[in-house]
Amino acid sequence: MSVHATRMPSSRPPSGMSRFFAAKPATCIEDLRVLAEKRVPRMFYDYADSGSYTEGTYRANTADFAAVKLRQRVAVDMRNRTLASTMVGQPVSMPVALAPTGLTGMQHADGEILAARAAAAAGVPFTLSTMSICSIEDVAENTDRPFWFQLYVMRDRDFIGRLIDRAKAAGCSALVLTLDLQILGQRHKDIKNGLSTPPKPTVRNLINLATKPRWCMGMLGTKRRTFRNIAGHAQGVTDLSSLSAWTVEQFDPTLTWDDVKWVRDRWGGTLILKGILDPEDIPPALATGAEALIVSNHGGRQLDGAPSSIEALPAIVDAVGGRMEVLFDGGIRSGQDVLKALALGAKGTFIGRAFLYGLGAGGEAGVTEALTIIRKELDVSMAMCGLRDVTQVDGRILARAPYGSPVKAAGAPDSTR
């Protein structure tokens, strides 16, 4: 089902005026973004589509992909291609997981449940954020595939211990521990928009909401409108409606590698460390015994001025030297971007905004659409690089190593290419 189809309940071809108004199919993630911008209330669209401070790192995350060039190969048998791979040992239909994103249930009513369902149907992992609207239990009750849970460490360790236990009880198959957001990088638009969940009934908000009837209807039809992992579970959170307020109040700025070990022991399952960007952080990351790390600058939402994720990736791959799995997050808007991240050494990738745009544009069908777009782009681009199996992608498909990167695999192409 396409996002296009969600706007046209009738399957009959449009005629007359309706043909004039008929929507064009979404052919790329940008089409979904444009639609999401129309459909999602301004404060939540802006929350997703922004970075911190000058947004320099946010922009670099996408822009730097353009500097990575692929080698075009010809006259290669392109039949029987496969995108199947594994991420932290778990089978995936393509190496693309849905990233943990805060307030997903404000892009669309019940957004986390819908995104988890779309991911399950597509055979890729869904990661639920601590800062989600739907709770761990909401998602578990409404999906039938295990999902991953993302954890922020807060001052109240009893609460965090119980949160980890809840993820275990819900059957989550990996814990993604975020290390780069103990304090919040300022996002100017969130302050200017008075971001809160649910939105406060100010004149400005009411005027904006009046232009989003589809979103409002969805929200009226759900009870899930606040941070349900936290509400009723954590003590002393005084202002749950304001993300920045409760981050300041609750997140633990004293977090160190010792705390990571505490989380690892309490969890006892597959652990993924998110937010690593610097090679000097690799030795302590390895010492935690975590299965994987995610190269990430939090979507350009934290340290403005940090390198883009794709720029940082090769040095991290080098420093890790195969001792743990390296996953990638930041700036992916196409299957070509996924291919480039894999070529630079990532075992798997995450998409955040790319699926949020689909969600805002068309709910579950929109997330499916985003995954389908990326899958097709990845498949076709891989074939044009002369490969049929995504697990074979490496630095040999790069036309040149960007940033003087340490891509080592640039030998002669093998006979399949």
Q: Is 298 a catalytic residue?
A: yes
Cβ closest to ligand GLV, residue 49 vs residue 291 = 49
Give min distance, CB of 133 to ligand GLV, in A.
13
**Site string (172-201) toward ligand GLV, x via CB under 6 A:** ---------x--------------------
Q: Exactly one of 4, 108, 188, 298 is catalytic; which is it? A: 298
Give min distance, CB of 251 to ligand GLV, in A.
10
Q: Which two tokens stand for residue 170?
A: 């819900």
> Which residue sits closest to ligand GLV, CB atoms considered?
102
Please tell me whether residue 298 binds ligand GLV under the rule CB under 6 A. Answer: yes
Judged on CB neighbours under 10 Å (0-12, 13-18, 19+), 314 is buried
- To 5 degrees, how large is the angle CA 62–CA 363–CA 126? 65
Binding ligand GLV by CB under 6 A: which of 102, 335, 345, 360?
Answer: 102
218-277 binders of ligand GLV (CB under 6 A): none
Cβ closest to ligand GLV, residue 85 vs residue 178 = 178
Q: Which two tokens stand for residue 107?
A: 């892009």
Would you list the DSSP string of 162-226?
Answer: HHHHHHHHTT-SEEEEE-S-SSPPP-HHHHHHT--SSPP--HHHHHHHHT-HHHHHHHHT-S--S
Give min distance, CB of 195 to ligand GLV, in A.
9
Question: Distance between CA 65 and CA 402 in Å, rounded?
Answer: 10
Q: Residue 351, SS3?
A: strand
Cβ closest to ligand GLV, residue 298 vs residue 347 = 298
The counts of H helices and E strands in the chain are 17, 10
Cβ closest to ligand GLV, residue 102 vs residue 307 = 102
Cβ closest to ligand GLV, residue 212 vs residue 301 = 301
Q: Which two tokens stand for residue 33?
A: 């973004």
Number of residues that bind ligand GLV (CB under 6 A): 5
Q: What is the DSSP letter of 25?
A: P
Tell me which residue of 416, 371, 415, 353 sits closest to 389, measured CA to CA: 416
Binding ligand GLV by CB under 6 A: which of 131, 176, 320, 339?
Answer: 131
352-371 binders of ligand GLV (CB under 6 A): none
* Residue numbers at the binding site for ligand GLV (CB under 6 A): 102, 131, 181, 298, 301
Catalytic positions, please? Answer: 298
